């Protein structure tokens, strides 16, 4: 049994009937590399524990651009498959056993949920879950939310939070998880390599914690944005040994910063991060590099310098909740990470163009 709504919805931008019961909807379906088509498909019906969201806003993501290029990804079922994983919407149907959710609720959803039962989940490492459930299909009028995500990572939107800002919960949750892996605190100098969306979010979170953050990026407009997110200093990306020395020289009385966060996702930046940090410092290797790549590190600074090097992947249910609280409460200019709004028809072109800014997709 499930319930489908008709009539007016409760979304914040609702000026016309929002949730009209219908059997067909428009959805972007991935068919293969570079082949993403807007199609009429059946509106999903919720199975046990599932929820259907009438999508208000989706956000484009670099991951979707990569999936479109590759035509496949571990996070989506074999093609043809619906695409998109960042969304905010109104509950339009509730499957049996989906607790705490009602038709008409304005909700935001994370792009995955851990199983809660595998060995990593059992020891409190849900970002390493061996049976993670992914969400896919946000570029559509209606989105099926799988039962594990309903129970762990489907959250009500705090009052007053715009849907496109709420939909940023997933990228911010990844950044929250990343900074959980960094020990630097009040007054500690941290260098963030990379001023893209993730580097900027990480810089803002660390600055909010009281760290003195330097963001390195080759683009002037990103450096300026990093300052508005709370960065104390912004510098060009270090491209050679002389630039790395110069970066060390202006931190820690010439010994280098306490911590370096790599948010570029290239092996050379991973190596630079280890070269920049001071003895006794910590390095977070955050940016995912291309499959099959490797790095080499000089052994001496790791050994004699007692460096702490960590990785970070994805997010946790706690990080998702913390991210939503940040979006609702922070005065950080999160909207600067969003580009011009687009329609479902414009998503394939926007993903191919890859402007660097996330694009809000106005679904209804
Ligand atoms: Zn994403
Ligand atoms: Zn698990």
Ligand nearest to the CA of 121: 2
User: Long-range contacts made by residues 357-360, C-beta under 8 angstroms, separation at least 24?
Assistant: 357/197, 358/59, 358/60, 358/61, 358/86, 358/168, 358/171, 358/197, 359/59, 359/60, 360/57, 360/58, 360/59, 360/164, 360/167
Domain boundaries, the chain: 2-168+317-362, 182-311
| 361/28 Cα distance (integer angstroms) | 12
Ligand nearest to the CA of 314: 1
Ligand nearest to the CA of 174: 1
Ligand nearest to the CA of 130: 2
Task: Give Cβ neighbours of residue 16 (< 8 Å, ≥ 6 apart).
Answer: none
In this predicted structure, what is the pLDDT of residue 8? Answer: 37
Distance 344 CA to ligand 1 centre (A): 17
| Residue corresponding to tokens 């926007």 | 350
In this predicted structure, what is the pLDDT of residue 15? Answer: 37
| Structure tokens belonging to residue 245 | 């020395």
Ligand nearest to the CA of 63: 1
Distance 313 CA to ligand 1 centre (A): 13
| Structure tokens belonging to residue 182 | 């960094």
Task: Give Cβ neighbours of residue 212 (< 8 Å, ≥ 6 apart).
Answer: 187, 188, 189, 190, 232, 233
For the beta sheet containing 24-32, the strands, ordered from the edge strand earlier in sequence to the opposite edge, are 35-42, 24-32, 81-82
- pLDDT tens for the chain, 364 residues: list them: 344 443 333 444 443 445 556 799 999 999 999 999 999 999 999 999 999 999 999 999 999 999 999 998 888 888 999 999 999 999 999 999 999 999 999 999 999 999 999 999 999 999 999 999 999 999 999 999 999 999 999 999 999 999 999 999 999 999 999 999 999 999 999 999 999 999 999 999 999 999 999 999 999 999 999 999 999 999 999 999 999 999 999 999 999 999 999 999 999 999 999 999 999 999 999 999 988 999 999 999 999 999 999 999 999 999 999 999 999 998 899 999 999 999 999 999 999 998 789 999 999 9
Distance 124 CA to ligand 2 centre (A): 9
Q: What number does CATH give the domain 182-311?
A: 3.40.50.720
Distance 119 CA to ligand 2 centre (A): 7
Q: Do domains 2-168+317-362 and 182-311 have the same CATH topology?
A: no
| Structure tokens belonging to residue 218 | 């080759």
Distance 303 CA to ligand 1 centre (A): 36
Distance 138 CA to ligand 1 centre (A): 11
In this predicted structure, what is the pLDDT of residue 5? Answer: 42
CA distances from 199 to 69, 72, 271, 286, 304 (A): 23, 26, 17, 9, 29
Q: CATH number of 2-168+317-362: 2.40.110.10, 3.90.1150.10, 2.60.40.1080, 3.90.180.10?
A: 3.90.180.10
Distance 165 CA to ligand 1 centre (A): 13
CA distances from 249 to 20, 93, 277, 357 (A): 62, 58, 11, 32
In this predicted structure, what is the pLDDT of residue 18? Answer: 55
Nearest to 82 by CA among 95, 96, 64, 100: 64
Ligand nearest to the CA of 132: 2
Distance 171 CA to ligand 1 centre (A): 6
* Beta strand ranges found along 157-301 (DSSP E): 189-193, 212-216, 233-235, 259-262, 282-285
Q: How many CB atoms lie within 10 A of CB 64?
A: 28
Phi-psi region of 305 (alpha: psi -120 to 50; beta: other; left: phi over 0): alpha
3-state secondary structure of 354: coil
Q: How many CB atoms lie within 10 A of CB 335?
A: 11
Ligand nearest to the CA of 115: 2
Residues paired with 4 in a beta bridge: 93
| 163/304 Cα distance (integer angstroms) | 49
């Amino acid at each position: 049994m499930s319930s489908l709504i008709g009539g007016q919805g409760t979304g914040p931008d609702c000026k016309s009937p929002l949730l009209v019961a219908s059997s067909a909807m428009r959805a972007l379906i991935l068919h293969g590399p570079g082949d993403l088509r807007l199609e009429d498909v059946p509106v999903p019906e919720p199975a046990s524990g599932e929820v259907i969201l009438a999508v208000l806003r989706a956000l484009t993501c670099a991951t979707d651009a990569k999936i479109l290029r590759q035509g496949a990804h571990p996070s989506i079922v074999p093609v043809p498959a619906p695409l998109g994983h960042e969304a905010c919407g109104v509950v339009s149907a509730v499957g049996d056993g989906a607790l705490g959710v009602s038709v008409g609720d304005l909700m935001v959803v994370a792009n995955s949920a851990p199983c809660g039962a595998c060995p990593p989940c059992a020891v409190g490492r849900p970002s390493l879950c061996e049976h993670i459930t992914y969400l896919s299909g946000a570029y559509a009028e209606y989105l099926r939310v799988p039962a594990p995500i309903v129970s762990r990572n489907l959250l009500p939107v705090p009052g007053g939070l715009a849907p496109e800002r709420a939909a940023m919960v997933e990228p911010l949750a990844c950044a929250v998880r990343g900074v959980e892996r960094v020990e630097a605190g009040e007054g500690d100098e941290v260098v963030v390599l990379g001023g893209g969306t993730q580097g900027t979010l990480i810089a803002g979170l660390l600055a909010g914690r009281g760290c003195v953050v330097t963001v390195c990026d080759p683009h002037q407009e990103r450096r300026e944005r990093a300052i508005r997110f709370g960065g104390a200093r912004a510098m060009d990306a270090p491209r050679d040994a002389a630039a790395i020395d110069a970066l060390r020289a202006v931190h820690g009385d010439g010994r280098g910063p306490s911590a370096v966060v790599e948010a570029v996702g290239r092996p050379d930046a991973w190596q630079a991060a280890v070269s920049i940090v001071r003895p006794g410092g910590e390095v977070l290797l955050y940016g995912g590099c291309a499959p099959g790549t490797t790095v080499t590190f000089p052994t001496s600074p790791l050994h004699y310098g007692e460096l702490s090097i960590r990785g970070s992947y994805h997010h946790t249910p706690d990080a998702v909740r913390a991210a939503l609280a940040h979006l609702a409460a922070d005065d950080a200019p999160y909207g600067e990470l969003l580009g011009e709004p687009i329609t479902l028809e414009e998503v394939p072109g926007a993903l191919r163009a890859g402007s660097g800014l996330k694009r809000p997709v106005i679904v209804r």
